[in-house]
Amino acid sequence: MTNRREFLQSGLGLIAAGCMRASRPIGTSAASLAGTPNARLPIGFSTLGCPKWSVAQIADFAAANDFAGIELRGILDKMDLTQVPELSTGLPETEKLFERRQLLVTCLGSSAEMHHADPAKRAAQMDEGRRFIDLAQRLGAPYVRVFGNSWVPGEARDVTLVRIAAGLRELGDYARGRNVIVIIESHGDFTDSPTLLDLMKRAGSPNVAVLWDAHHTFVSGHEQPEDTVRQIGPYIRHTHLKDSVPAGNDRRYVLTGTGQVPVKRQIAALSRMGYQGFYNFEWEKRWHPEIEEPEIAFAHYAKVITGYLREAGVGPRAASR
């Protein structure tokens, strides 16, 4: 059994440092543990999809179904991960559990929104971002997700962009030296590549990058995956993949490969550009309780995405020590 330091050094704990040493923004390594008998493909899922599962249930299911990583986005009734006992007072036992299951924490999903103009609201959002960065450092997780999230009514869009970029840069500065990178998700009003690229340039920080929710850029941003990757590919560090079909004026999430979202092409586009991150499943069960149960949707995703990855030439990865 490796100790925690060896575990983190052999896996995702070194990723952020590697990114900051890179001469240009590139996809980061999501390597599995070195020396494991059967290295896993770089697939993971978000805990948004299993809101009724304990940490132990999450880890057991992931390992049993050959997932290599877990994105933490709420545990049971708590969305603020800094308030989850298993990640505070119970952290040593959680670390041991994940080590035994050979699982990596790929990302922490905060709810922090960078668009708020009200000083009190903005201060609260920035505080959440910093608390999540501190937790990510303790966990050895490389990324903390934040949102744009919305255009401010009555405010010039350029003003909103300046504020969001400033928030990203401030959090990026805080993350510097903590081996953490802040990633803004293509979500809400910010699902088109030109705007996301503009934000990356305005933020101008090696500690700020993009979480590509490939569903949103396709459905809301009306972009083909090849075009999205061409424009913002160098900044993509993490992904959210999911499938859906039209449902009136909205969308209904469906099992991977059974809907209208070109998930297979999204994976192929990432592979062609040399992306080395996780192909992460975001099943929004917490927000949409009517969709399939996690044990069905997660297992189906693992099976389908394994085929997509192998067809795209993505194989298991072993970390170098």
Q: Does the predicted model carry a pTM greater than 0.85?
A: yes
Task: Determine the average pLDDT of the residues in 289-295.
Answer: 98
Q: What is the mean pLDDT of residues 10-21?
A: 34
Q: Is the pLDDT of residue 287 over 70?
A: yes
Q: Where are the beta strands (DSSP E) in the chain?
A: 43-46, 69-72, 104-113, 143-147, 181-185, 208-213, 236-240, 243-247, 250-254, 279-281
The residue among 59, 138, 50 whose CA lies nearest residue 99 is: 59
Residue 3 has pLDDT above 90, yes or no: no
Q: What is the predicted pLDDT for the residue at 194?
A: 98
Rounded to an integer, the average pLDDT of 256-284 is 98
The CATH code of domain 4-311 reads: 3.20.20.150
In which band, very low, low, confident or very high, does the pLDDT at 181 lie, cut at 50, 70 and 90? very high
Higher pLDDT, 112 or 9: 112
pLDDT at 17 over 50: no
The chain-wide mean pLDDT, for the chain, equals: 89
Q: Which residue has the higher pLDDT, 299 or 318?
A: 299
Judged by average pLDDT, the poorest of 92-96, 270-274, 316-320 is 316-320
Of 225 and 318, the structure prediction assigns the larger pLDDT to: 225
pLDDT at 39: 83
Give the count of beta carbons closer than 10 Å to the beta carbon of residue 97.
Answer: 18
Mean pLDDT to the nearest integer, 55-76: 98
Q: What is the pLDDT of residue 38?
A: 52
Q: Is the pLDDT of residue 132 over 90?
A: yes
The predicted structure's pLDDT at residue 276:
94
Q: Which two tokens stand for residue 99?
A: 């080590």
Quick one: pLDDT band at residue 266, thresholds 50, 70, 90? very high
225 to each of 83, 104, 241, how far by Cα in Å?
36, 27, 12
